[in-house]
Structure 1
Amino acid sequence: MKNVAVIGAGTMGNGIAHTFAQFNYKVNLIDISKASLKTGLATISKNLDRMVTKQKISESEKTVTLKNITRFTSIETGVKNVDLVVEAATENVALKTKIFKELDTICNTETILATNTSSISITEIAAVTKRPEKVIGMHFMNPVPVMKLVEIIKGYNTSNEVVETIVLLSKKLEKTPVQVNDYPGFVANRILMPMINESIETLYNNVAGVEEIDTVMKLGMAHPMGPLQLADFIGLDVCLSILNVLYKGYKNPKYAPCPLLVNMVMAGKLGVKSGEGFYDYSNHRKAEKVAKMFS
């Protein structure tokens, strides 16, 4: 397996493309937006520069990594003759099933189709294809080049052979794969999102302020980033989407999104990417500081 297509040039997509390319896989980075592709590649280049500065890679390794990435605006052209497709589009079930239905008709029959979904059922996504045994979840953590964990989610029909292939592939990327079963939120977000939601509820109920809540969790629980700042980093819209999936899947009130989170998303206060969330990132340096915390 040497040829990989990544669909989506956003935060997760460009991070996944960066990681594969750094380990000398040929990567087709696909996005319908030329501007997103340009921004995605610029982000990869900037992150590689940071790695060069920290002497984690050489300048020549940076050059090779960038040469391993080819940009496409057409899914049909971009997935031609690849061994693996990793979809990293927005966390929206309708969009993901649409993409997988299309991939199923245009990809080679042996191509493995993976999704970077952080909460949506792999079985549901696989059901729109004629190759459910070759559909799997490959949930990378953000920022992808730095974080070691990959949740490997086996759908109801995913074959053991495909699971073994993706586990081995993850290890070749120097990641730590952890296999989990296909239930809403899997493990990472089933545990993380209720904590973030409860932190927002704590703020909403005026128990304490933003910085006070984050300080308690950082100093008291040894978290590298407080839950409200982490929510900003993830994106409040993403947090809301995942909580909605959990609430729908488990029918349990404990997963119901806090009204404050709902209102902030409706108001466009999405965190770092919008310039404001629980913290103000209108100063570019502040946003850069948060982005570098896990680099």
Structure 2
Amino acid sequence: MSTDPRDHRLAVVGGGVMGTNIAALALGHGVPVVLVDVSEAVLAEAEQTVALKLRHAQLMGKLPAGRTPAKLVTSVSLADAADATTVIEAVTELPETKAKVLSEVSQIVRPGTLLISNTSCIPIDEMASSVARPEELVGVHFMNPAYMIVMVEVIRGPRSSDATLTAVTDLLETLGRKGLVVNDAPGFVINQVLHPLINSAAKLVQDGVATVEVVDGLLEGCLGHATGPLRTADLIGLDNLVDSLNVLFERTGDSSCRPCDYLLDLVRAGKFGRKTGEGFYDYGKVAS
């Protein structure tokens, strides 16, 4: 591996919020991307979303000056990831789904290919048992939007090799990201702190202690939280948040991670946050 974008070929599996974020980040730094998902319709929408995010990153000055964006290819076949130097799994936060994708990918790619899970809560070693070469798997928790936030959380599983850590460091440097390495655990660092906070904030609204706006306003104004926990939850996706909280609760038994009724009611109503146009806040239309 190297930090020259011409030496990298990235496959991203999953064309949702984080998959399109990561794809836009890589393309903007000159790294070609194969984006894989289950249907042509999903991929057509994802391609438009990537283009919008790439344009936004350019307008915000978040991409290397003078660098021509690389080419995006979309596919419904995992086989088209075979020539990648790195595969990033960014599918829904369900253990069995991630394990299935990673298992299939690991059988297709050459030995020495870097395998990354963008999981937000599932322990890396839990998924490593499903792949052909567990030492090649590492977690990288990109923040949303990935093309705006420079810091990422790198999760080293017990079986992740030194060579894998070197390869992921090279890739992140190529993408202009800075990674801090943490050891494997449910939720790692960011979401062991953030997700229970969001859940507690939602319960305060549920119990009538304060409105959504007041809860966020207090954490912004008093604690310096950039957007407030509930607006952050809308950006994450409330459906993904509930999945992650369930992972944390099942693996830690911490009652603060049991999704509160208000959060569950929003998800049951299809109000997932910015991506559906409504969550804790009403955005008026579906956000890109």
TM-score higher than 0.5: yes
1:39 aligns with 2:41: no
In structure 2, distance between residues paired with 1:55 and 1:109: 37
2:264 counterpart letter in structure 1: V
In structure 1, distance between residues paired with 2:53 and 2:85: 26
Q: Which residue of 2 aligns with 1:169?
A: 171
1:84 aligns with 2:90: no
Alpha-carbon deviations, 1:50-96, whole Å to 9, x = none?
A: 344445569974xx31x4211111111x2122111001111111101
More deviation, 255-264/8-17? 255-264
In structure 2, distance between residues paired with 1:100 and 1:124: 11
Give the alignment's TM-score, normalised by structure 1. Answer: 0.90
Q: Structure 2 matches for 1:161-240, cutoff 5 A?
A: 161-240=163-242
1:22 aligns with 2:28: yes
More deviation, 163-172/139-148? 163-172
C-alpha change, 1:54 and 1:231, in structure 2 (3 Å) is closer
Alpha-carbon deviations, 1:111-140, whole Å to 9, x = none?
A: 121110011111111101220000110111
Contact 1:152–1:167 (CA under 8 A) maintained in structure 2? no
2:270 counterpart letter in structure 1: G
Q: Which residue of 2 aligns with 1:5?
A: 11
CA shift for structure 1 position 19: 1.3
CA shift for structure 1 position 254: 2.3
In structure 1, distance between residues paired with 2:182 and 2:65: 37
In structure 2, distance between residues paired with 1:53 and 1:168: 26
C-alpha change, 1:163 and 1:52, in structure 2 (3 Å) is closer
C-alpha change, 1:5 and 1:258, in structure 2 (3 Å) is same
Tell which has more relative contact order, 1 or 2 (C-alpha 8 A, sep 6+).
2
Q: Which residue of 2 aligns with 1:154?
A: 156
Q: Aligned to 2:30, what secondary structure does the other structure show?
A: coil
Q: Structure 2 matches for 1:214-293, cutoff 5 A?
A: 214-281=216-283, 283-284=284-285
May I ask how many residue pairs the two structures share in their alignment?
282
Contact 1:120–1:185 (CA under 8 A) maintained in structure 2? yes
More deviation, 84-93/43-52? 43-52
Give the alignment's TM-score, normalised by structure 2. Answer: 0.92
C-alpha change, 1:174 and 1:59, in structure 2 (3 Å) is closer
In structure 2, distance between residues paired with 1:172 and 1:49: 19
1:72 aligns with 2:78: no
CA shift for structure 1 position 34: 1.4
CA shift for structure 1 position 231: 1.0
List alignment gaps of at least 5 residues for structure 1.
Answer: none
Alpha-carbon deviations, 1:217-251, whole Å to 9, x = none?
A: 11111222121111111111111111111111111
Q: Aligned to 1:215, what secondary structure does the other structure show?
A: helix
Q: What percentage of aligned pairs have identical amino acids? A: 35
More deviation, 158-167/115-124? 158-167
Instruction: Indicate the RMSD between aligned Cα atoms, in angstroms.
Output: 1.9
CA shift for structure 1 position 263: 2.1
| Aligned partner of 1:98 among 97, 100, 104 | 100
Contact 1:200–1:260 (CA under 8 A) maintained in structure 2? yes
In structure 2, distance between residues paired with 1:57 and 1:134: 28
1:135 aligns with 2:169: no
C-alpha change, 1:250 and 1:58, in structure 2 (3 Å) is closer
Q: Aligned to 1:274, what secondary structure does the other structure show?
A: coil
1:253 counterpart letter in structure 2: S
In structure 1, distance between residues paired with 2:115 and 2:217: 41
Contact 2:21–2:53 (CA under 8 A) maintained in structure 1? no
